[in-house]
């Protein structure tokens, strides 16, 4: 037994170096189409995922590929951004700003505006809610144009991460295969890699496929994944607006009209971005009318008084005086301020449809979804991109932990931790925003009463307000 061992086992053990080198040579020459991670979708969330994985020290020797269906966007010189603002903007919470700083994509973005205060009020009652931190100079969130953030992420990938991250543009997926963990025929073989097929016939294999391909995700449809979804009968109208006169612009305004909320997000001292969620017909009308009519409609939407129910006013006073008995708080009396008046529109007016969706499954063996592919939310709370960024952070953490624990990067055991973590984070926000949207989309008396009383209590009780703000800024 010993002699046999010496002949066979010991020589194998001592020659392992030769075996290792040969094996490595063979695998590197034979196929260029094996990757460690493929990210399907190069938008804001997909780009952030590529940057985060590329910068991670645990993935420094791994091959990462980002697939984007569109052509490469035109180079934008971030130090001299184009004069016209992009009409699609996003609100980024402080927690996500820190994350973008970690992936070296925040400081490049030279044009961004801090929101230090928010005013939210209802057309059907007098209740006004203000959000701000104790120190008024601290920001609640930052407003950044989508194209500038995208350019920043692309530049980080091109300039700093070209060692391990590569990008393929104009690549649409035509098919994908994900191995089935539980019903596999032979558990003695390792879990096969996931494969995607591109429109030019190339087949790419990967250990982990991250699907960041948006609300109409191809991968989700290809795998027949169940989603809970419905369309809001609303379109969001977006445009960049100019003011009559420059002012200190650090406030975000949102008024809930019965047809939908209208919001002004600050961009600079002279302009703000409009996001008006309204019915499909009204959205078409807004896109086609003259600039003067458009501006008038916006100003009216913010300034015009709507018919009030006497009972609502009475109830409002009663609730306020009731609460004043228990909690005496001078700052609770919120005064209504008006946003600066609009004088004109910069660039065009666009619209996009709104809907809600939430996917049943976030992960499968060798597959993880991030961003809009698993959740679509109404823009009234500005959380769409924030939820996507938190998905990126959580998946990065799970991938790094499983690599540092020696696990297979695409094993379902580790990906399920990402699913639990993000379901816990996404579901409350999705339910709350959907609830608020439904509550405020009518002017029927019971709903108005409920939301008036609710808002007054919310305003009075600072702990609840702080908790709510804490959730929104991580």
Partner 1 sequence: MLNISCHSCGRLLTTLSSVPKFYNLRKIHVFRPKFTRNLFCGNYNRHVSRSTIRFMTSQSNIEYEAEKFSKLAANWWDENGNMKALHSMNHVRVPFIRDGLISMGCGEPFTSKPLHGIKILEVGCGAGVLCEPLARLGASVLGIDASDHVLDVAKMHRDGDTELSDLQYIDADLEDIVGAGTLRFHAVVASEVVEHVEHKMKFINNCCSLLMPNGSLFLSTINRTQVSYLLAVLMAEEVLGVVPPGTHDWDMFVTTDEIKSYLNQGNCEIQKIVGMNYNPLNNKWTKCQNTNVNYILHAVKKDETNADTL
Binding stretches for partner 1 (CB under 8 A): 1-2, 5-6, 9-10, 12-13, 16, 19-20, 23-24, 27, 34, 57-62, 181-182, 187-190, 192, 403-408, 411-413
DSSP state of 5: I
Least distance (Å) between residue 453 CB and partner 1: 41
Least distance (Å) between residue 370 CB and partner 1: 22
To which H or E segment does residue 403 belong?
helix 384-404
Nearer to partner 1, 20 or 32 (CB): 20
Beta-bridged to residue 143, according to DSSP, are 91, 113
DSSP state of 201: S
Report residue 242 CA to chain centroid gap: 27
Least distance (Å) between residue 185 CB and partner 1: 12
Alpha-carbon distance 36 to 135, whole Å?
46
Nearer to partner 1, 39 or 59 (CB): 59
Least distance (Å) between residue 177 CB and partner 1: 16
Q: Is the Cα dihedral 371, 426, 238, 438 positive or negative?
A: positive
Least distance (Å) between residue 408 CB and partner 1: 8
**What distance, in Å, lies between the first and last C-alpha atoms of the chain?**
63
Alpha-carbon distance 70 to 171, whole Å?
7
Least distance (Å) between residue 35 CB and partner 1: 12
- Alpha-helical (H) ranges within 441-461 are 445-460
Nearer to partner 1, 189 or 328 (CB): 189
DSSP state of 6: I
Nearer to partner 1, 34 or 471 (CB): 34
Nearer to partner 1, 230 or 404 (CB): 404
Alpha-carbon distance 39 to 370, whole Å?
10
Nearer to partner 1, 34 or 285 (CB): 34
CA atoms within 13 A on the CB side of 263: 25
To which H or E segment does residue 404 belong?
helix 384-404
DSSP per-residue string spanning 75-117 = P--TTS--SSPPS-EEEE-HHHHHHHHHTT-STT---EEEE-E
Nearer to partner 1, 183 or 325 (CB): 183
Q: Residues near 127 by Cβ (< 8 Å), separated by ≥ 6?
A: 121, 316, 334, 452, 455, 456, 459
Least distance (Å) between residue 13 CB and partner 1: 6
């Amino acid at each position: 037994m010993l002699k046999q061992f010496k002949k066979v086992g010991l020589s194998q053990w001592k020659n392992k170096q030769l075996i290792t080198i040969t094996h490595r040579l063979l695998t590197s020459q034979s196929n260029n189409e094996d990757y460690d991670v493929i990210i399907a979708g190069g938008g804001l969330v997909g780009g952030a995922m590529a940057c985060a994985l590329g910068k991670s020290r645990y993935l420094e020797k791994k091959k990462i590929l980002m697939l984007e269906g569109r052509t490469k966007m035109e180079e934008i010189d971030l130090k001299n951004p184009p004069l016209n603002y992009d009409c699609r903007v996003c609100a980024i919470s402080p927690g996500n700003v820190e994350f973008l700083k970690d992936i070296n994509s925040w400081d490049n973005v030279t044009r961004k505006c801090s929101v230090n205060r928010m005013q939210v009020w209802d057309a059907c009652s007098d209740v006004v809610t203000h959000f701000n931190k104790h120190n008024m100079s601290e920001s609640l969130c930052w407003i950044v144009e989508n194209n500038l953030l995208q350019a920043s992420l692309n530049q980080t990938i091109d300039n700093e991460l070209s060692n391990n991250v590569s990008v393929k543009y104009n690549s649409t997926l035509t098919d994908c295969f994900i191995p089935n963990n539980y019903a596999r025929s032979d558990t003695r073989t390792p879990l096969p890699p996931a494969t995607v097929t591109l429109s030019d016939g190339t087949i790419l294999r990967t250990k982990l496929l991250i699907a960041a391909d948006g609300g109409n995700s191809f991968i989700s449809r290809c795998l027949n994944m169940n989603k809970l979804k419905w369309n809001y009968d609303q379109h969001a109208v977006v445009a960049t607006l100019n003011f009559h006169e420059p002012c200190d612009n650090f406030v975000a305004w949102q008024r809930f009209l019965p047809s939908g909320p209208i919001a002004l997000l600050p961009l600079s001292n002279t302009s703000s971005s409009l996001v008006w969620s309204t019915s499909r017909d009204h959205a078409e009308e807004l896109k086609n009318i003259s600039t003067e009519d458009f501006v008038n409609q916006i100003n009216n939407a913010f300034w015009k008084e709507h018919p009030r129910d006497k009972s609502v006013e009475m109830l409002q006073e009663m609730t306020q005086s009731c609460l004043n008995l228990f909690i005496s708080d001078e700052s609770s009396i919120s005064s209504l301020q008006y946003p600066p008046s609009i004088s004109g529109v910069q660039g065009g007016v666009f619209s996009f449809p709104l809907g809600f969706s939430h996917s049943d499954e976030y992960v499968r063996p060798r597959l993880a979804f991030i961003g809009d592919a698993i959740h679509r939310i109404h823009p009234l709370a500005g959380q769409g991109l924030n939820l996507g960024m938190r998905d990126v952070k959580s998946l990065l953490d799970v991938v790094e932990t499983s690599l540092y624990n020696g696990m297979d990067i695409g094993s379902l055991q580790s990906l399920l931790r990402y699913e639990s973590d993000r379901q816990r984070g996404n579901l409350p926000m999705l339910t709350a925003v959907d609830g608020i949207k439904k509550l405020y989309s009518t002017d029927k008396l019971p709903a108005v009463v409920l939301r008036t009383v609710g808002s007054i209590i919310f305003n009075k009780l600072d702990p609840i307000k702080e908790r709510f703000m804490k959730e929104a800024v991580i």
